[in-house]
């Protein structure tokens, strides 16, 4: 288990832009054989949610938020090779950000989390036009497509994407998450009722378990 002292040391180093310190803390946790799921939920997810809250409250700048995201992405890249060789569950997922959505760190964390649990993942990344998402789905035929939306002004793109996918790929499951979705209502997101709204990695973990039943 990651104690509060370790978390706060990591978070303080991340806000200070100290990538080396963040990497050292993660390596120390790995040496202690802290489970990967614990790292993703109680270090990466927790820290990025806190960064997002501080930014929304104007307590940190856009530059601070970008710095924290870039450090997190760098640490995730270091961890990524350890995900290879996991037992496959014979499930595939495409994970992407909606068009005009440039915040991709949440989607990256989710992509790695699925891969950690044996899924074949296709991480498309930030600001992906709908037509290109449709091409990727047609090429790889995933069981699930996941969308991440951080900025509220991009919810219309999410609506358009879900509507198109429900029409063109009616048997494929759709999941959606991100700060903008967590804050919105079904009324403000017309098609969100046609997708599974997963607020955090705990809900994603339950979704994966249910998909294997």
The sign of the dihedral angle between the CA atoms of 208, 178, 25, 73 is positive
Instruction: Give the model's pLDDT for residue 130.
Output: 96
Instruction: Give the model's pLDDT for residue 168.
Output: 97
Question: 147 has which bridge partners?
Answer: 96, 176
Compute the chain's Rg from CA coordinates: 17
For the stretch 170-212, pLDDT in tens is 999 999 999 888 776 555 566 577 899 999 999 999 999 998 8
- The pTM of the full predicted model, rounded to 2 decimals, is 0.90
> Measured between alpha carbons, how far apart are the two ends of the chain, in Å?
28
Instruction: Give mean pLDDT, residues 11-28.
Output: 97
Classify domain 92-211 at the CATH class level: alpha beta
Domain ranges of the chain: 4-83, 92-211
Do the domains at 4-83 and 92-211 have one common CATH topology? no
Instruction: Give the model's pLDDT for residue 34.
Output: 93
Q: Which three-class secondary structure string do you get for 82-129? A: HHCCCCCCCCEEEEEECCCCCCCHHHHHHHHHHHHCCCEEEEEECCCC
4 or 56: whose pLDDT is higher?
4
Instruction: Give mean pLDDT, residues 5-20.
Output: 97
Mean of the per-residue pLDDT values of the chain: 92
Instruction: Give the model's pLDDT for residue 185.
Output: 57
Instruction: Give the model's pLDDT for residue 189.
Output: 63
Classify domain 4-83 at the CATH class level: mainly alpha
Instruction: Give the model's pLDDT for residue 194.
Output: 84
Identify the CA nearest to 80 among candidates 50, 127, 34, 113: 113
pLDDT at 140 over 90: yes
For the stretch 65-121, pLDDT in tens is 999 999 999 999 888 887 777 899 999 999 999 999 999 999 999 999 999 999 999
Instruction: Give the model's pLDDT for residue 84.
Output: 75
């Amino acid at each position: 288990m990651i104690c509060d002292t370790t978390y706060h040391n990591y978070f303080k180093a991340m806000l200070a832009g100290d990538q080396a310190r963040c990497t050292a803390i993660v390596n120390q946790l790995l040496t202690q054989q802290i489970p990967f799921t614990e790292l993703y939920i109680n270090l990466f997810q927790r820290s990025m949610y806190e960064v997002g809250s501080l930014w929304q409250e104007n307590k940190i700048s856009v530059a601070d938020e970008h710095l924290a995201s870039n450090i997190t992405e760098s640490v995730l890249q270091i961890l990524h090779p350890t995900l290879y060789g996991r037992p496959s569950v014979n499930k595939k997922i495409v994970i992407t950000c909606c068009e005009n959505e440039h915040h991709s760190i949440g989607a990256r964390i989710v992509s790695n989390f699925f891969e950690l649990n044996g899924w074949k993942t296709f991480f498309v990344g930030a600001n992906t036009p709908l037509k290109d998402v449709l091409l990727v789905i047609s090429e790889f035929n995933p069981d699930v497509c996941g969308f991440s939306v951080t900025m509220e002004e991009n919810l219309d793109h999410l609506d358009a994407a879900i509507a198109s996918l429900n029409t063109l790929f009616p048997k494929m499951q759709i999941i959606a998450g991100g700060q903008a979705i967590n804050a919105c209502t079904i009324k403000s997101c017309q098609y969100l009722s046609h997708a599974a709204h997963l607020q955090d990695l705990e809900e994603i973990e339950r979704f994966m378990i249910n998909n294997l039943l």
